[in-house]
Amino acid sequence: MGMIIGNILAIYRKELQGYFASPLAYIVAGVFWLLSGFFFVAILLSPEGVINQVAAQDQMGVPTPPVDVAYEFLRYFMSVMGSLALFVLPVLSMGLYAEERKRGTLELLATSPLTNWTVAVGKLLGVLTFFTAMIVPLLAYEAIALGAANPPVPPAVPLLAHLALILLAASILSLGMFVSSLTDSTILSAILTFGLVLFLWIIDLVAKSIGGSVGAALGHLSLLENYNNLVQGVFDTSNLVVFASYIILGLFLTAQSIDALRFQRS
């Protein structure tokens, strides 16, 4: 067990160093920060933002139920972050194995003493850590905005929302890693991953059109539905199970893909 953990950590450090040394990764992070900052200001302070909307309703004397501005802001902002992740994460995952194929090192990796699961877990942890580092700066101005709320926002609500974002990222990255293991084209990998994740993102629309027990079953597979439930502060273990299932499925399919390559080379 100690050797397995050591191998995972070795792959993890290698992948993490690769991301922090990659100009593309910094470009992706910069675009992500720019867009997230724009939407942060727009949701909070723009004429259509939650603060001005509530103020306008009060000035017009519109009878509305009390609005928790901080909660509404967090819900809208985290929904936008989930949508941004849909575009950013396929770019981060596209080179996990495709670059290995392009450089010709995937065959060496497939025939090495390291197990496929060890390599896959190490790679997933590396890219997930980089994405987590990308969202850390967002916490600073979220804390400033939510710190001014009265009454204060319970810490469990933003913590659960950010946990949902990390679980969503892990699910997308795991599936993207599998897609990356199938091709040596990083662009094709990103496009296929985006298409797959977009389908899982909007599958609840298909489920609603079908209806019945089949529709309900498909609805539970929706990344959007499970993510929104957690962002809204609804702690449901079934949402955690769905995300964990996607993560394990991506790791399993990746390991099988590399195992098939190992069989071809043997």
* pLDDT per position as a tens digit, 218-251: 778 888 888 988 888 888 888 999 999 999 999 9
Alpha carbon 229 to chain centroid distance? Answer: 15
- Alpha-carbon span 258 to 182, nearest angstrom: 9
Question: Contact at 8 Å (CB) between 58 and 64?
Answer: no
CB atoms within 10 A of CB 1: 5
Question: Contact at 8 Å (CB) between 97 and 180?
Answer: yes
pLDDT of residue 249: 94
Rounded to two decimals, the pTM is 0.89
- Alpha-carbon span 133 to 152, nearest angstrom: 26
* pLDDT per position as a tens digit, 168-199: 999 999 999 999 988 888 899 999 999 999 88
pLDDT of residue 60: 62
- Owner of token pair 């392009």: 102
Question: Contact at 8 Å (CB) between 88 and 32?
Answer: yes
Dihedral over alpha carbons 117, 122, 125, 130 (to 10 degrees) = -150
- Alpha-carbon span 235 to 239, nearest angstrom: 8
**DSSP designation for 85:** H
State the DSSP H helix or E strand holding residue 138, giving kind and residue range, or none if neither: helix 116-147
SS3 content of the chain, % helix, strand, coil (to 5): 80, 0, 20
Question: Contact at 8 Å (CB) between 183 and 101?
Answer: yes
Query: Which residue stretches of 21-115 are H helix?
Result: 23-45, 50-60, 69-93, 98-103, 106-110
* pLDDT per position as a tens digit, 19-66: 888 888 899 999 999 999 898 888 887 766 666 666 665 566 555 555
pLDDT of residue 166: 95
Alpha carbon 160 to chain centroid distance? Answer: 14
Whether the predicted pLDDT of 129 surpasses 70: yes
